[in-house]
Amino acid sequence: MPYTAEHKQQSRGRILQSAVRLFTRQGFESTSIDAVMADAGLTRGSFYAHFNSKQDLYAQAIAYTPVFSVFGQTKPEDLTEQRWLAKLVSGYLSQGHLHKAEQPCPLAFLVTDVAVNEPEARQAYTDVYLKMNQLIRTYTKNFSHCDRETVMAVTAMMIGGVAVARTLSDRKAEKALLESCRQVALQLLGAVE
């Protein structure tokens, strides 16, 4: 009996979630198809029913990120755009994001990995980055005069701040870096906690 479309979609989602989790922790080169499929609880044979290659999976995993990332969450009705954006930025620029996040942001965790990867991965990264900027601009339009350039500078600082913080061996320096980026980002965006 063939699988239903819903079952296939669920399997694909499990593969993508596992891929993002493993790629962000280990990078493209150190993550095998077998490891992704084992993490997803599926057989290697089912991989090719969903993806053409590991490179295809990598690009699609990056593109899938907004579905479950911090910035993919729906704003609670009881929070203003200003407070919600402050919460998102603070969560992104936190030690919890670095060390405890189940699905860390590939924009920060894969920044150098994607830079030397295939055009499909770079395009997926670009699309996610631009969506992040667009979402932030959507929130700021009701309370701030942030222009496109300011938002792009803030998101670059946020991504770069997380990427650099991941490399630091000193937890105090890591915390100080993230806090500095958080304060400046909130100030530039006009968001308050």
DSSP assignment of 50-74, as one string?
Answer: T-SSHHHHHHHHHHHGGGTSGGGSP
Q: How far apart are CA 106 and CA 5, in angstroms?
A: 28
pLDDT tens-digit map of 107-155:
999 988 898 888 999 999 999 999 999 999 999 998 888 899 999 999 9
**Res. 9 pLDDT band, cuts 50 70 90:** confident
pLDDT tens-digit map of 66-85:
665 677 778 889 999 999 99
Pick one of 3.40.640.10, 1.20.210.10, 1.10.357.10, 3.20.20.70 as the CATH number of 66-189: 1.10.357.10
* Count of CB atoms situated within 10 Å of the CB of 30: 11
* Res 142: pLDDT: 84
Q: Where in the chain is the domain with CATH 1.10.10.60?
A: 5-58
Q: Which residue has the tokens 């290697």?
A: 44
Note the CATH number of domain 5-58: 1.10.10.60
27 HSE (CA, 13 A, CB side):
9
pTM: 0.87
How many Å separate Cα 156 from the centre of its chain? 13
Q: Where in the chain is the domain with CATH 1.10.357.10?
A: 66-189
CA torsion sign for 8, 10, 16, 18 is negative
Q: Which residue has the tokens 């499990």?
A: 14
Single-letter amino acid, residue 48:
Y
Q: Which residue has the tokens 């990598």?
A: 58
pLDDT tens-digit map of 15-59:
999 999 899 989 999 999 999 999 999 988 889 999 999 999 999
CA torsion sign for 114, 120, 126, 132 is negative
